[in-house]
Amino acid sequence: MVTLEPMRWWHIDAIVPVEAQLFAPEPWSARAFWSELAQLQTRHYLVALDGTAVVGWAGLCDYPDEAFVQTMAVAPAHQRTGLGARLLAALLEEAARRGQRTVSLEVRADNEPAQRLYARHGFTRLGVRKGYYRGVDGWVMTRRA
Ligand SMILES: CC(C)(COP(=O)(O)OP(=O)(O)OC[C@H]1O[C@@H](n2cnc3c(N)ncnc32)[C@H](O)[C@@H]1OP(=O)(O)O)[C@@H](O)C(=O)NCCC(=O)NCCS
């Protein structure tokens, strides 16, 4: 059974190699995760645990007038099992709990699986950042509750 729990510093070592695999050529470093977790007031990070193994994670930033999905990932062996949808739903719940009606995110223009996940949760494309990801466009997607 896969459970969702708050991300803690001791999960980072397990996350980094999977992050490198999923987000090459621009993965977050361990330092980036440490920095996110240090911002206690504005960040909400979750891990998906299968026993003690980290098989997914996601993070939200609570800006003054909107929330932003900072990152979202499911380990390859657990993809397409509904875990991405669970993580995203948990972030949207947290955004609502914090009184945020608008949630935004950025996704690569060529990342169709992620775009479909977001579209199924009510996100629509608001704009394009040309060449944002080393020459690949970034889509800004937004959801208003
Ligand atoms: C995007 C990602 C988080 C989705 O996680 P997941 O656990 O596989 O997603 P789910 O099983 O919850 O799927 C939910 C929906 O997402 C879409 N989806 C997920 N994987 C897909 C795929 N390979 N192709 C097309 N649609 C896909 C579908 O709409 C799916 O619903 P369905 O299965 O009923 O058709 C996962 O593919 C991932 O980690 N990718 C690499 C990292 C990444 O791109 N992160 C997002 C950065 S913005």
CATH value at residue 110: 3.40.630.30
Q: Can you tell me whether residue 117 is helix, strand or coil? A: helix
Helix (DSSP H) and strand (DSSP E) numbers for the chain = 4, 7
Which residue among 50, 57, 80 has the greatest number of ligand 1 atoms within 8 angstroms of its CB, and so is best to mutate?
80
| Residue-level pLDDT at 138 | 94
Total number of domains in the chain: 1
The mean pLDDT value of the chain amounts to 96
Q: Determine the atom of ligand 1 nearest the C-alpha atom of 74.
A: 39
What the block records as the tokens of 34 is 């440490």
| Residue-level pLDDT at 28 | 97
| Residue-level pLDDT at 132 | 79
10-24 pLDDT tens trace: 999 999 999 999 999
Cα 130 to ligand 1 centroid, rounded to whole Å:
23
* Domain enclosing residue 94, as ranges: 2-144
| Residue-level pLDDT at 135 | 83
